[in-house]
Amino acid sequence: MTDIDGIEWRVSPGLTPYDEALAAMEARAAAVLAGEARELIWLLEHPPIYTAGTSAQAGDLIDPRFPVVSTGRGGKYTYHGPGQRIVYLVLDLNARGRDVRCFVHGVEGWVIAALDRMGVAAFRAEGRVGIWTRDGGPEAKIGAIGVRVRRWITMHGLAVNVAPDLTHFGGIVPCGLPDYPVTSLAALGRDTRLATFDAALAESAPALLSSLSCPSEPPRGKTRLEGGALCD
């Protein structure tokens, strides 16, 4: 698939170094703002890395066994690695309603719908950005969301645990929430093929795009919203 409603749908094979992906995403966001490129939904994987969002607390880094990178997205510490589907969203909210809360809510709904197609009952949790599930066990996080919106162009996005090594999360307090474990499609006994999850995301993407047109009064200056978003 190369296009969803005029947006480039890109899937990168293998492991994409974090710094290379970040540079490419920022360049694409600048091009979208200038009207020189299409919006982008980019699916990829990273080598093992811990990233610190704008609200990261030093005490949440327990064991820096992997490289640690500070990044401009909202949120706290998270882990990225093989078996985790990363989705970067470079979308123009100037054309879709300048509402960052609506955007984050829509992304959560998108992942919940995709996981439903995988047989996982997922949900939002009041006061906690991200995607959660019980599925017969304790409440656990299966998807993280951390975004930045600059001049109403979105960057960064989401990470869903398909089949990563969950012990790698032990080096941090994931998203600053020590009382909640993380889980994955593999731990829940579901299909662990990235292509299958990608297809579920693609099938649910039109609903995401239609959910973003809910404009409100734009934030002024640099604003953190709902713990996982930064608008400037």
Residue of 102, 175, 214, 231 marked catalytic: 175
pLDDT grade for 45, boundaries at 50, 70 and 90: very high
The pLDDT value recorded for residue 55 is 87
Q: Is there a catalytic annotation at residue 175?
A: yes
Across the chain, mean pLDDT equals: 90
Average the pLDDT over 66-94 and give the result. 94
For residue 109, give the nearest of 224, 209, 2 by alpha carbon: 209
Residue 9 clears pLDDT 70, i.e. is over it: yes
SS3 for 195-225, per residue? HHHHHHHHHHHHHHHHCCCCCCCCCCCCEEE
The pLDDT value recorded for residue 179 is 79
Lowest mean pLDDT, pick from 1-10, 41-50, 137-146, 222-231: 222-231
Quick: pLDDT tens for 92-112.
999 888 999 999 999 999 999
Residue 1 clears pLDDT 80, i.e. is over it: no
Cβ proximity of 74 and 229 under 8 Å:
yes
The pLDDT value recorded for residue 222 is 60
Quick: pLDDT tens for 19-35.
999 999 999 999 999 99
What type of residue sits at position 97? G
The pLDDT value recorded for residue 160 is 98
Residue 220 clears pLDDT 80, i.e. is over it: no
pLDDT grade for 225, boundaries at 50, 70 and 90: low
The pLDDT value recorded for residue 132 is 95
Cβ proximity of 80 and 18 under 8 Å:
yes
Quick: pLDDT tens for 155-212.
999 999 999 999 999 999 887 778 789 999 999 999 999 999 999 999 999 999 988 8
